[in-house]
Amino acid sequence: METESKMTPQRSLELINETLEANRKAIIAGSGKYLIMWGCLLLVFSLAVWACWHLSGSPVWNLLWFAMWPVGLLVSRIVGKGDRIPQNYVSSLIGKVWAAFGIFAPVTAALAVIAFPMNITLVIILLFGFAETVSGIALKNWPIIIAGAIVGIGGACAAVALAPGAEQILLFTGAALVLALTGVAIQVRK
């Protein structure tokens, strides 16, 4: 890139637009890595909870979910080590949306266990899909918007349709696959 040049006003505007767009794409691509990471983690935890619950017959194995957040934070630190992708308003907004989900989900689950019985799978999968769709809207990325809607609305309907039990956990396995595949799609588009 030239340092000093006789740029026309048109070329200057083009350069600004090109740079802003390239920057936006780099930030979206950076978020793909974290979608894959959280998708894989959710996949592992959902299969672990399902297997333990299925084999033992005890729903107490749902307590494993509470370990997912600290593990996830640790893994995301490792994944993000040496990361050069900067934060902008959109990426920090997405981080805050998922942080809110990270608070709502375990608190609601804990309240459901302790005092207010409810279909917690329905609530959490709806929240999950909502957070993913909001992320997609912020990123102006249709695959994420659609994936979030499928997971949230489809998952909520499936949570009601399925009989209570270990099999409901497999809905999170499906959500995890959608999340990870969304991340893969973003990375491939990069």
Partner 1 sequence: MFDKLDPLLHSELRLAVMSVLVGTDEADFVYLRQQTGATAGNLSVQLDKLAAAGYITVEKGFQGKKPRTTCRVTDAGRTAFAAYVEALRSYIGQ
Interface residues with partner 1 (CB under 8 A) are 1-5, 7, 9-10, 12-13, 15-16, 19-20, 22-24, 26-27, 81-82, 84-89, 92
Q: How far is the CB of 85 from partner 1 (least distance, A)?
A: 7
Choose between 13 and 111: whose C-beta lies nearer to partner 1: 13
Nearer to partner 1, 81 or 160 (CB): 81
Q: Which is nearer to partner 1, 3 or 188 (CB)?
A: 3
State in angstroms the smallest separation of the CB of 20 from partner 1.
5
**Least distance from C-beta 79 to partner 1, angstroms?**
15
Cβ-based nearer residue to partner 1, 6 or 117: 6
**Which residue has tokens 């009601």?**
160
Q: Taking the complex as a whole, how short is the minimal distance between the CB of residue 3 and partner 1, in angstroms?
A: 5
